[in-house]
Amino acid sequence: MTVGAFVIVALTLVCNACSDKIETPTSATTTATTAILFSGTLQPRGVRFYSYTLTTSGAVSALLASVERNGVPAGNALEIGIGAPAGTDCAVTMSANGPASLIPQLRHDAAAGTYCVRVADIEGLAAPMTFTIRLIHP
């Protein structure tokens, strides 16, 4: 090897060593989630809400897990919504009206901050019902 060739090889090695190449991680990234169960009794035409704080941004989903009267499942539809606490209520930005479900009725990406999930009877229950909302957030 000539001295010139040696210099070229050395320069190549030096440049590679100092490059700002970003290493792509190969390991999978997992995000921990937290589940909140919000249960209570909802009066006919009543409204209740539950406030929670996200410390990191991420996907939030909510579902009406159950509607019962005296321990017996009921098919009544209730409106659930997600929003931010405002005044004496929860100002919802998205909502869905339906019976209890196994799949999320609401899903959105949220930044860190304080939010609320709200349940309301907009169809007129014949009697008070117990409900459970399952909220999953980062």
Task: Select from 37, 56, 113, 122 the one that contacts other proteins (CB under 8 A).
Answer: 113
Q: Compare residues 41 and 73 and give the one whose CB is closer to other proteins.
A: 41
Task: Select from 1, 18, 22, 103 the one that contacts other proteins (CB under 8 A).
Answer: 18
Is 88 an interacting residue with respect to other proteins (CB under 8 A)?
A: yes
Residue 62 identity (one-letter amino acid): A
- Which of 73, 59, 69 lies closest to 135, judged by CA? 59
Is 20 an interacting residue with respect to other proteins (CB under 8 A)?
A: yes
Which neighbouring-strand residues pair with 97? 79
Q: How many CB atoms lie within 10 A of CB 19?
A: 8
Return d(Cα 49, Cα 118) in angstroms, integer. Answer: 4
Is 131 an interacting residue with respect to other proteins (CB under 8 A)?
A: no
**Closest distance to other proteins from the beta carbon of 7 (Å):** 4
Cβ atoms 100, 64 nearer than 8 A = yes
What residues make contact with other proteins under the rule CB under 8 A? 3-4, 6-7, 10-11, 14-15, 17-18, 20, 40, 48-53, 84-88, 113-114, 116
